[in-house]
Chains A and B, each alone.
Chain A
Amino acid sequence: MNNGLLLFFGIVVAMVSSWFGFVHSPQLQFGTLVPEVDEASGATFPSPRSGAAIRGLDIYRQNGCASCHTQQVRQESYDFTVEISDYGDNTDQVAELLATYSSNYEAGSELPALPFNVVEGVDLGTANRIVKKISATEAAVMAQIVPHGPDIERGWGIRRTVGADYLLDKPVMLGNQRIGPDLANIGNRNPDANWHYVHLFQPRKAVEDSVMPSYPFLFDRIPVNGKPDVKALRLKGELVTDAEGRQIIPRAAAKDLVAYLLSLRLDTTLFEAPGLVVASDEESEATDVEDEAASQ
């Protein structure tokens, strides 16, 4: 290798191919994604954030919250639940089938309250077979994908996170460290704004052995003259004070940050994220496609 020009050319080829692989292709796949509009309800996903929450994302970025918190939920496996939402007219037939397939239903007893889970934790084939049999009775039945994994079992979201979840984030801060818990679903897990204020002001007041740094600069501390301010922080009804007995009032930055945290919710299912419905065998092909998508 003594030809400098050839060497340079080779390096350029490497640069360009790596650029196409890791910059251009993801952009082709994801760059065209747009927020999805649900035709029935008119709601968009991801739902737009309020102004305060958008400013809050900036506070989150400035203070490097992503150094210790991720916003991505993983899924390890999935299985299926068969759910009946309407028994239809042929209740006798349905009861017979339920007795065959469901361990939650005793033969001869009253049909259980709706919606009823016929089986849980079965594979796709079993679920499809049961759905086919029951739907033949004209009962409304469907198989539902149920994702599993420690993240999901910890309540960090009902499904894994996918690209569509971050369409409105600028910048996207997925984080790669879980020194603190995942925050993808924090708005749903703990919707109490006051708890978040106290936790930000002094984490150890809210969680006993927390290692999170405190952020007192997001709050004003004002001496109590007579009656405490209505906006002052309270925990379980008691006024939260600093070491000098002053009351704590959130500044705008704290309000924005908490608004952002509360906007983080992972409680809606998406087409590409499991949770979708299989109504009958006509759609079981669609399930197979989904199946592949899910196994990735």
Chain B
Amino acid sequence: MSESNDNGNVAGVSTPGWEVEIPVEELDRSCQAPIMLMLWKAAGWLFLGACFALLNSVRFHAPDLLAHCPWLSYGRIAPAASVAFVYGFALQAALAVALWLIVRLGKSTLAEPGYALLGAGFWNLGVFIAFIGILAGDSTGYALFDLPKYAVPILYVAYLVLAGLGLTTFLRRQVRKLYVSQWYLLAALVWFPWILATASLLLQHFPVRGVTQIAISGWYATGLSNIVLGGIALATIFYLIPKLLKRPLHSEGMAIFAFWLFIFFGSGAGVLSGSTVPAWVSSLSAVFAFFTCLAGVLVGLNLFQTIGGDWNKLLGSDLRFVSLGAVAFIASVILGALNAHSSIAEITQFTLVLPALQQLALGGFVMMTLIGGAYYLLQNIGGSEEGNGLVGLHFWVALVGVGLTVAVLGLGGLIQGQTMADASIPFNAVTKSALNFLRMETVGSLFLFAGSVLFLVNVGRIGLKTLCCCPCGWLIVGGDVTDEYESEEDGEDGEDEEDSDSVASSETKKAAKKVTRKKVASKKKAASKKKSAKKAAKK
């Protein structure tokens, strides 16, 4: 227990040449600009995706809505909304959170923040091109791999830049001991280029024949949602829950076991595409789903023991998004394993249960966790005020949105599956049974849309505040010109920063901190002098 507790702070201090730790403020500042840019863009994509999802949901009430515009037809909006959500929001926010976690956990400043900005810019360019391409009719026809051929290289390069900077920062870490979150981050960072290259080469450049395409696109989709997005979300959960509860992680051994289970089996847990792929693929996938479920249960037990009865803290403003994400994760792996069982799959296959499970995994687990991580890191690097009412509102709106869509689609899917299994019921009646639920789901989509607006507003407000407070911080990143920002932070989060650094504290760390604190204090004095001089000049 104590091993996981100190999280390598001892090692960090004793590494030769690093007698003095880099203060948390400096760590945060080094990655401030790219991370804020990425989160701001991610919020924008989330909003756009939610708009489009809402539009498609309304179509179940009015099927002829905007029918004359081919660019806005149902079958183009659906993949476009998915790309905006998965690549624009989820993966971008995941990368932002991942970079921050790498910086914080390794206690080294972000390598080349300028290139990170460039990478983020390229990423958004790639997503934008993919988005427009799909609307123009260039979708691939594979679920979750809806990237037109020409958008993939841009996204690939952008990802390599961002992940490469993350890995460089990781290698430069001052704390040599690795924490659970870092395992998941490393896996996620290296996994995506591998599956994207495979999928793009074998589906777009040298297309394989027949149903092998389905196996590959299914493998890609599972790897993306489980290992890449899920891995970064789990890293966030493992970082924030022990840290904010100020309790050490219960068992590192359990975490190690769960990690390897998840990494080895998570990438094949959902490749279930019906009777047409060979039976062994589905069977293998069901076995993988079982082991992924086991990993999820172990993660859940570990967190349960870590929380140790501090349940009320989980609903606190910092943790509620992340704790909800953790609950959704465990629910989604358990339901995923159940759904992989052939007797259940027989009913649920081709029904709304599938989007319900996807919503639980990507909306409940990944989105909620990343939003929680984003709010927490913005609070640290962007200096938002405590107890922000809109963040609280966002939580409840998002909770209702995700809960409603998952419940309605899941229930509707089960009923749809039951009626579909009875050949004496005409297919029109099957569609009708599903239609009522699809119409109810519009309310959920409306809540999700409202949630995305609130996220945009919240991130925007914090961004604007930071932008106004320290324009230099945006231009010259990681330099010491950003002192001004620090003085702004002084009153608000100064206290918070003291213990925010890592999962737990140790004696040596405290000693090291005293040194750094003095330095920071002297810096702050200098900064406030500068600031008052500037104010005088303005007048």
Q: B338-357 CB contact bits vs A (8 Å, 1 = yes)?
A: 00000000100111101100
| Smallest beta-carbon distance B288→chain A, Å | 8
| Smallest beta-carbon distance A9→chain B, Å | 11
Q: Are B187 and A214 in contact, with the CB atoms below 8 A?
A: no
Q: Are B75 and A63 in contact, with the CB atoms below 8 A?
A: yes
Cα separation A55 to B456 with both chains bound (whole Å): 41
Q: Are B64 and A11 in contact, with the CB atoms below 8 A?
A: no
Return the chain A residue nearest B176 by Cβ: A2
Q: Are B434 and A14 in contact, with the CB atoms below 8 A?
A: no
Instruction: Known contacts A11-B191, A23-B198, A176-B350; decide if A213 and B63 are in contact (CB<8 Å).
Output: yes
Q: In this assembly, does A129 line the interface, its C-beta being within 8 Å of a C-beta of chain B?
A: no
Q: Are A215 and B73 in contact, with the CB atoms below 8 A?
A: yes
Interface locus among B124-132, B267-275, B515-523: B267-275
Cα separation A17 to B208 with both chains bound (whole Å): 20
B-chain residues with CB within 8 Å of residue A41 when the two chains form the complex: none
Cα separation A66 to B145 with both chains bound (whole Å): 14
Q: In this assembly, does B70 line the interface, its C-beta being within 8 Å of a C-beta of chain A?
A: yes
| Smallest beta-carbon distance A147→chain B, Å | 11
Q: Are B209 and A21 in contact, with the CB atoms below 8 A?
A: no
| Smallest beta-carbon distance A165→chain B, Å | 7
Q: In this assembly, does A291 line the interface, its C-beta being within 8 Å of a C-beta of chain B?
A: no
A-chain residues with CB within 8 Å of residue B434 when the two chains form the complex: 179
Cα separation A213 to B67 with both chains bound (whole Å): 7
Give residues of chain A (192-235) contacting chain B, Cβ–Cβ below 8 Å: 203-204, 207, 209-217
Q: Are B68 and A26 in contact, with the CB atoms below 8 A?
A: no
| Smallest beta-carbon distance B2→chain A, Å | 15
Q: Among A7, A14, A19, A33, which residue has its beta carbon within 8 angstroms of that of B210?
A: A33
Q: Are B178 and A2 in contact, with the CB atoms below 8 A?
A: yes
Q: Among B177, B211, B351, which residue has its beta carbon within 8 angstroms of that of A163?
A: B211
Cα separation A27 to B427 with both chains bound (whole Å): 35
Instruction: Known contacts A7-B183, A23-B215; decide if A62 and B142 are in contact (CB<8 Å).
Output: no
Q: In this assembly, does A268 line the interface, its C-beta being within 8 Å of a C-beta of chain B?
A: no
B-chain residues with CB within 8 Å of residue A4 when the two chains form the complex: 170-171, 178, 186
Give residues of chain B (42-88) contacting chain A, Cβ–Cβ below 8 Å: 59-60, 63-65, 67-70, 73-76, 78-79
A-chain residues with CB within 8 Å of residue B350 when the two chains form the complex: 70, 175-178
Instruction: Known contacts A1-B178, A18-B223, A217-B70; decide if A176 and B354 are in contact (CB<8 Å).
Output: yes
Q: Are A180 and B431 in contact, with the CB atoms below 8 A?
A: yes
Q: In this assembly, does A296 line the interface, its C-beta being within 8 Å of a C-beta of chain B?
A: yes
B-chain residues with CB within 8 Å of residue A215 when the two chains form the complex: 67, 70, 73
Q: Are B276 and A23 in contact, with the CB atoms below 8 A?
A: no
Q: Among A17, A30, A64, A74, which residue has its beta carbon within 8 angstroms of that of B275?
A: A74
A-chain residues with CB within 8 Å of residue B78 when the two chains form the complex: 64, 67
Q: B265-303 CB contact bits vs A (8 Å, 1 = yes)?
A: 001100101111111010010000000000000000000
Interface locus among A102-110, A137-145, A166-174: A166-174
Q: Are A61 and B141 in contact, with the CB atoms below 8 A?
A: yes
Cα separation A63 to B334 with both chains bound (whole Å): 34
Return the chain B residue nearest A63 by Cβ: B75
Return the chain B residue nearest A64 by Cβ: B75
Q: Among B63, B143, B215, B349, which residue has its beta carbon within 8 angstroms of that of A211?
A: B63
Instruction: Known contacts A11-B191, A64-B73; decide if A26 and B212 are in contact (CB<8 Å).
Output: yes
Give residues of chain A (277-296) contacting chain B, Cβ–Cβ below 8 Å: 296
Q: Among A7, A29, A171, which residue has its beta carbon within 8 angstroms of that of B140?
A: A171
Cα separation A68 to B68 with both chains bound (whole Å): 19
Q: Among A30, A154, A209, which residue has its beta carbon within 8 angstroms of that of B211?
A: A30
Task: Give the B interface residue count (CB, 8 A).
Answer: 87
Q: Are B69 and A217 in contact, with the CB atoms below 8 A?
A: yes
Cα separation A204 to B64 with both chains bound (whole Å): 10
Q: Among A22, A65, A163, A179, which residue has its beta carbon within 8 angstroms of that of B431?
A: A179
| Smallest beta-carbon distance A195→chain B, Å | 16
Q: Are B64 and A214 in contact, with the CB atoms below 8 A?
A: yes
Interface locus among B309-317, B416-424, B497-505: B416-424
Interface locus among B256-264, B378-386, B389-397, B462-470: B256-264
Give residues of chain A (25-74) contacting chain B, Cβ–Cβ below 8 Å: 26-27, 29-31, 33, 61-68, 70, 72-74
Cα separation A177 to B355 with both chains bound (whole Å): 9
Q: Are B63 and A72 in contact, with the CB atoms below 8 A?
A: no
Most chain A CB within 10 A, of B69, B191, B213, B284, is at B213
Q: Among A8, A15, A61, which residue has its beta carbon within 8 angstroms of that of B194?
A: A15
Return the chain B residue nearest A26 by Cβ: B215
A-chain residues with CB within 8 Å of residue B177 when the two chains form the complex: 2
Q: Are B68 and A76 in contact, with the CB atoms below 8 A?
A: no
| Smallest beta-carbon distance B179→chain A, Å | 9
Majority SS at the chain A contact face: loop
Most chain B CB within 10 A, of A2, A167, A213, is at A213
Give residues of chain B (210-242) contacting chain A, Cβ–Cβ below 8 Å: 210-216, 218-219, 223
A-chain residues with CB within 8 Å of residue B432 when the two chains form the complex: 209
Q: Among A63, A178, A216, which residue has its beta carbon within 8 angstroms of that of B68?
A: A216
Q: Are B210 and A172 in contact, with the CB atoms below 8 A?
A: yes
B-chain residues with CB within 8 Å of residue A167 when the two chains form the complex: 209-210
Q: Are A73 and B275 in contact, with the CB atoms below 8 A?
A: yes
Instruction: Known contacts A30-B209, A163-B210, A181-B427; decide if A15 and B191 are in contact (CB<8 Å).
Output: yes
Q: Are A33 and B420 in contact, with the CB atoms below 8 A?
A: no
A-chain residues with CB within 8 Å of residue B70 when the two chains form the complex: 63, 215, 217
Q: In this assembly, does B190 line the interface, its C-beta being within 8 Å of a C-beta of chain A?
A: yes
Q: Are B212 and A27 in contact, with the CB atoms below 8 A?
A: yes
Instruction: Known contacts A2-B178, A150-B421; decide if A19 and B194 are in contact (CB<8 Å).
Output: yes
B-chain residues with CB within 8 Å of residue A150 when the two chains form the complex: 420-423
A-chain residues with CB within 8 Å of residue B211 when the two chains form the complex: 26, 30, 163, 166, 172, 174
| Smallest beta-carbon distance A141→chain B, Å | 30
Return the chain B residue nearest A214 by Cβ: B67
Q: Among A19, A29, A211, which residue has its beta carbon within 8 angstroms of that of B198?
A: A19
| Smallest beta-carbon distance A117→chain B, Å | 21
Q: In this assembly, does B202 line the interface, its C-beta being within 8 Å of a C-beta of chain A?
A: yes
Cα separation A15 to B422 with both chains bound (whole Å): 41
Q: Are B212 and A67 in contact, with the CB atoms below 8 A?
A: no
Q: In this assembly, does A135 line the interface, its C-beta being within 8 Å of a C-beta of chain B?
A: no
A-chain residues with CB within 8 Å of residue B194 when the two chains form the complex: 15, 19
Q: Are A11 and B73 in contact, with the CB atoms below 8 A?
A: no
Most chain A CB within 10 A, of B263, B268, B276, B346, is at B276
Cα separation A211 to B78 with both chains bound (whole Å): 16
Most chain A CB within 10 A, of B63, B68, B178, is at B63
Ordered by A's residue number, 21 sampled pairs between the chains whose C-beta atoms are within 8 Å are A1-B252, A4-B171, A14-B264, A22-B271, A23-B198, A23-B215, A31-B210, A33-B209, A64-B76, A64-B139, A66-B75, A72-B276, A163-B277, A166-B211, A171-B203, A175-B350, A179-B438, A209-B428, A215-B73, A217-B70, A217-B73
Given A66-B75, A213-B73, 13 new contacts (CB under 8 A)? A1-B178, A2-B176, A11-B187, A11-B190, A29-B278, A30-B211, A31-B209, A65-B75, A74-B349, A76-B346, A167-B209, A176-B350, A213-B67
User: Which 5 A-B pairs rank lowest in CB-CB distance, beginning with the nearest?
Assistant: A64-B75, A62-B137, A153-B423, A22-B219, A296-B279
